[in-house]
Amino acid sequence: MFDLHPTRIAELLQLVTAPAFLIAGIGTFVSVLTARLARVVDRARDEDDDADDDTREPNPARIEFDRRMREMLALRARLINRAIALATASAIAVCLLIAALFLDSLTAVDMSWMIGMLFVATVFTLAASLLVFLREVFVATSMLRRSNFRPGRGALRRAA
């Protein structure tokens, strides 16, 4: 049932090396995404702390700015969460692809169709993750273009 000749196993290990490197790349990408998510969460906590500050006088422009800022931060967090989920799904598909390559090579079962589908799923989920990440980057940079980012500066200072 299993063809475990050392030469065959060496060839198989060479075959699965590229997908293994893809897992490492996806892992690095997920690390970047989690770092961005941590910064967004910290920023949202800072915004909540600023909103709870009773020493500031009410300013309609500042209240609206803070509301929009919280909405943008929530959108960024949702986008990053989606990108992480898609990247993780891609890594899982790579793991399944490696397992399918081993099973196809070591057994008499033809899994070529499944291997092809897993590869396509890997590429599509990784591409989707990158697109969602790009959308999050656009949202983050649009926040910078709208004002100088901190209440009391830029557009808000002029409105006060």
pLDDT digits (tens, 9 = 90+) for 57-95: 777 877 788 888 889 999 999 999 999 999 999 999 999
Whether residue 142 is contained in a domain is answered as: yes
Q: For residues 41 and 14, give the distance between their C-alpha atoms in angstroms, rounded to a whole number.
A: 42
pLDDT at 61: 78
Q: How confident is the model at residue 124 (pLDDT cuts 50, 70, 90)?
A: very high
Whether residue 19 is contained in a domain is answered as: no
- Per residue in 33-63, pLDDT (tens digit) is 999 999 999 988 887 766 666 666 777 877 7
Domain span including residue 38: 28-159
pLDDT at 82: 98
Two tokens at 36?
């961005």
pLDDT at 60: 81
Instruction: Give every CB contact of residue 36 below 8 A, 6+ residues apart in sequence.
Output: 80, 136
The secondary structure element, H or E, covering residue 111 is none
Whether residue 92 is contained in a domain is answered as: yes
Whether residue 54 is contained in a domain is answered as: yes
- Closest listed residue to residue 136, CA positions, set 81, 93, 59, 76: 76
Q: How confident is the model at residue 150 (pLDDT cuts 50, 70, 90)?
A: low
Whether residue 66 is contained in a domain is answered as: yes
Q: Please report the sign of the dihedral spanned by the C-alpha atoms of residue 125, residue 130, residue 133, residue 139.
A: negative
Whether residue 2 is contained in a domain is answered as: no
Whether residue 13 is contained in a domain is answered as: no
